[in-house]
Amino acid sequence: MARKYASLLEFQRRFPDEERCALFLFERRWPEGFRCPECGGTRSYLLKSRAYTYACVACGRQTSVTAGTIMHRTKLPLTVWFWAAHLMATHSNGMSAQQLMGQLGLGSYKTAWLLAQKLRRSMVDPNRDPLEGVVEVDQTEMSFRTDDNPDTSIKTGKIIVIGAVEVIDRATGEAQRPKALGQKYLDTLSGRIRLAAIPSNHAPHIHAFIRANIAPGATLVTDGHASYPGIAGYRHDPRVVGNMAAHIPLKWIHRVFALLKRWSLGTYHGLRRRHIDAYLNEFVFRYNRRFYRHVSFETVLGLAAHRSPVSYWDITGQQNPRKETTPTRRNPRRRKTASGMRQDGVETADANKI
């Protein structure tokens, strides 16, 4: 995997068809050859009736090469998933649904949008260690839209985003050492970031964000907003902005917010409130990797983390209208997933729209 696949064309040569993609997934799942998850049997045969599914000769247990991945029970070709993940991974700003649709010649915007949304879900920063040292914290407001039409520019409201960024000492490249309160931090760099949407600027929401993302004992450099004081276990270093422009004392977090806003308009033509967490996760994921931009397409496909499948209904937060009418099996088959056992029929095939 050391080789980088610079262009989509090269990538497509490596994964030209369904068989090559399925073979890759097979080798990824069973690097030592087939092994039945039920009985440990090593002999299998490929089913003719179900795509990319192997049955164990000893016990008959069927295992799909896509089980436990975001491609499971997909209606889209594996090549589309692979190529879309490659585009998502190699474009430093990511790809909007509109761009994926054009690049891959997908027939509908909805399909492209769901594909992009599923791939985006894998882009969660695996390095969730809390931020440390000197950390700038601030909030900003972002416009969001309620429709999915990329051709309109309807702004319908504001959402509050809180962010935190580690301050790095430029000379050492290490976390900035805390100084006396009010002293300037000169010659610094931006370290890792965290972002979250919060319902309001009230102290409980701000404190919850800080506790979830910043290690106790850290120095919080803020603009002196009334919601920051009173959080125990942290050293608060408020910079009362007064007449000074706010980006002077809180330079890094303001730069992050500016990038975030430009990115949301440039790549996504505005954010949608319901998907704000997925967008913020993707932005944090990319920002925290900005010095080594190449993300493996396997990460985007969720192969590295073995994430469980996400359905259309999970992404859109809607109730699956067909779920209740889905006939239940008399003897539900039990399948192994990343998170344990689940019964077939709990998440039905038709819940997956793509």
Contacts of 310 (CB under 8 A, 6+ apart): 70, 118, 121
Number of residues that bind Zn ion (CB under 5 A): 8
For Zn ion, which stretch binds (CB under 5 A), given 8-16, 34-42, 109-117, 231-239? 34-42
Q: What is the DSSP letter of 303?
A: T
What is the nearest approach in angstroms of Zn ion to the Cβ of residue 29? 15
Residue from 22, 36, 301, 354 touching Zn ion (CB under 5 A): that is 36
Q: Which two tokens stand for residue 1?
A: 């995997």
Residue from 8, 58, 159, 231 touching Zn ion (CB under 5 A): that is 58
Residue from 14, 23, 38, 326 touching Zn ion (CB under 5 A): that is 38
Instruction: State phi, psi for 223 to the nearest 5 degrees.
Output: -90, 10
String of DSSP letters for 12-68: HHHS-SHHHHHHHHHHHH-TTS---TTT----EEE-SSSTTEEEETTT--EEETTTT
Distance in angstroms (rounded) separating the CA atoms of residues 227 and 236: 11
Residue from 21, 22, 25, 56 touching Zn ion (CB under 5 A): that is 56
Is residue 276 a contact point for Zn ion (CB under 5 A)? no
What is the nearest approach in angstroms of Zn ion to the Cβ of residue 40? 7
Is residue 55 a contact point for Zn ion (CB under 5 A)? no
Distance in angstroms (rounded) separating the CA atoms of residues 94 and 116: 9
CB nearer to Zn ion: give 58 or 160.
58
Distance in angstroms (rounded) separating the CA atoms of residues 140 and 256: 11
CB nearer to Zn ion: give 26 or 312.
26
Q: Look at the chain and count its residues.
A: 354
Is residue 59 a contact point for Zn ion (CB under 5 A)? yes
For Zn ion, which stretch binds (CB under 5 A), given 48-56, 99-107, 188-196, 332-340? 48-56
CA contacts within 13 A on the Cβ side of 316: 17
What is the nearest approach in angstroms of Zn ion to the Cβ of residue 126? 32
CA angle 317, 99, 14 (to 5 degrees): 100
For Zn ion, which stretch binds (CB under 5 A), given 31-39, 92-100, 101-109, 112-120? 31-39
Residue from 39, 154, 189, 248 touching Zn ion (CB under 5 A): that is 39
Residue from 41, 130, 150, 238 touching Zn ion (CB under 5 A): that is 41
Which positions lie near Zn ion, rule CB under 5 A?
36, 38-39, 41, 56, 58-59, 61
